[in-house]
Amino acid sequence: MNLAHVTFEIQDGLALIGLNRPAKRNAISDGMIDELKAALDMAAAHAKVGVIFGHGDHFSAGLDLAEHAERTPFEGVLHSRKWHRIFDEIERGPIPYVAALHGAVVGGGLELAASAQVRVADESAFFGLPEGQRGIFVGGGGSVRIARLMTASRMADLMLTGRTLSAAKAEQLNLIQYVAAAGQALGEAKALARRIASNAPLSNFAITQALPRIQDMSHDDGLFFEALMAAFTQTSPDAVERLRAFLDKRADRLAKPRD
Ligand code: 1HE
């Protein structure tokens, strides 16, 4: 597949996926979402971790409103369900993702970012859900993912008032985990991704596959599923060697916190 709205590159075992419609502020069109799906498939086949970022001055201005204005309600449902499938591939797929955020991270752009396991934003980033102003609703999984990250009440506030949040505020409200200096989001995201890539692949798989599903379970089912997953990861030769390396004092000890 020729990519026109997304870039794809493998670098140090990482898949770098760039949203690439800067003239339209990386608004997510049908073409872009199809290419994003193709890029996710390539990443799963060739990389241990993916990094999603935006070319130009913004991560993404969200849904392509010009295309959306032409959709019938039924087409709207199908469109939303397609985004759900593709963003689920990021949140619950075979490899973890780090989102590198700057500029606008709004609407569907924030829904995309929320599907990554780790989000790092630089100081230029601003976050918002202007769906109320546009007369629409979230459709990319935001009412599930964003509400869980920041609480439904915080999300309702963003949607009702249309206000935007700075990176510092977004970190305080659990929308993101890291704030980087201006221009450093991608560099930080790659550094985090390299660190994640050094984990046992089966542990990363368990984290991306099991952790979000356990959040959907009852207390008892969650604990049982956790025990099965723990036993399963422990059987890999990788785990056996990593545990032995620690006990033989060949493994790195934990570093002190940076902040
Ligand atoms: C777009 C879009 C878009 C820009 N769809 N074309 N998202 C929004 O409501 C955010 C809408 N965008 C903005 O508020 C601003 O564009 C920005 C703050 C992100 C950037 O401002 P600025 O001044 O740098 O750019 P601009 O002049 O507004 O936009 C440049 C071009 O990008 C312009 O097109 P041009 O042909 O006139 O040059 C814009 O029309 C175009 N553009 N954003 C289409 N979003 C699955 S449900 C998810 C629901 C949502 O995502 S709702 C939130 C939608």
Q: pLDDT digit string (tens) for 153-193?
A: 999 999 999 999 999 999 999 999 999 999 999 999 999 99
Domains and CATH numbers, the chain: 6-197 (3.90.226.10), 201-247 (1.10.12.10)
The answer to whether the CB of 129 is under 6 A from ligand 1 is: no
77 lines ligand 1 (CB under 6 A): no
Kindly list the catalytic residues. Answer: 111, 131
Mean pLDDT, rounded, of the chain:
96
| Interval 111-140 mean pLDDT | 97
Alpha helices, H only, 181-218? 185-197, 201-215
Supply the pLDDT for residue 26: 98
Report how far residue 70's alpha carbon sits from residue 234's, in angstroms, rounded to the nearest whole number. 51
Q: pLDDT for 83-98, tens place per residue?
A: 999 999 999 999 999 9
- Tokens for 223, please give them: 């604990």
Query: Distance, CA 222 to ligand 1 centroid (Å)?
Result: 41
Q: Is the pLDDT of residue 252 over 90?
A: no
pTM summary value = 0.96
- Give residue 41's Cα distance to chain centre: 15
Taking the C-alpha atoms of residue 92 and residue 206, their distance in angstroms, rounded to an integer, is 10
